Amino acid sequence: MADHSQKGTYKQGYSSHTVSNHQRRTAEVEAAFLLPHIQKTDRVLDIGCGPGTITSGFARQASQGATIGLDISADVLTKARALAGESDITTSGPG
């Protein structure tokens, strides 16, 4: 049974070490099992997207659709937006 005594607590936290580790992850490695199922026109929602490295891979797969990344940390969302900008992935629109 799941322990719900600490609701709202993200166990890994957002330390510089954790975020740095998450920035090295890619959709091609960590979500390789999922990529063949994402169509160009799909709409993808990545909840807990962190710095957006996996989310960017989803956006490349759903290039004619939409990909939205959500996270509770404004700091990592800033990193995700910066990565999207560097990768020519739009950070605004209908979602």
Q: Which residues contact 48 (CB under 8 A, 6 or more apart)?
A: 70, 71
56 closest CA partner among 86, 78, 13: 86
Q: What is the pLDDT of the chain when averaged over all its residues?
A: 84
Residue 8: is its pLDDT beyond 70? Answer: no
Question: What's the pLDDT score for residue 31?
Answer: 92
Residue 3: is its pLDDT beyond 60? Answer: no
What is the pTM (predicted TM-score) of this model?
0.78
pLDDT digits (tens, 9 = 90+) for 54-72: 999 999 999 999 999 999 9
| Phi, psi at 70, each rounded to 5° | -120, 140
Q: Lowest mean pLDDT of 13-17, 41-45, 80-84, name the range.
A: 13-17
CA–CA gap between residue 12 and residue 75 (Å, rounded): 15
Are 27 and 58 in contact, with CB atoms under 8 Å apart? Answer: yes
Residue 88: is its pLDDT beyond 90? Answer: no
Are 25 and 53 in contact, with CB atoms under 8 Å apart? Answer: yes
Residue 26: is its pLDDT beyond 70? Answer: yes
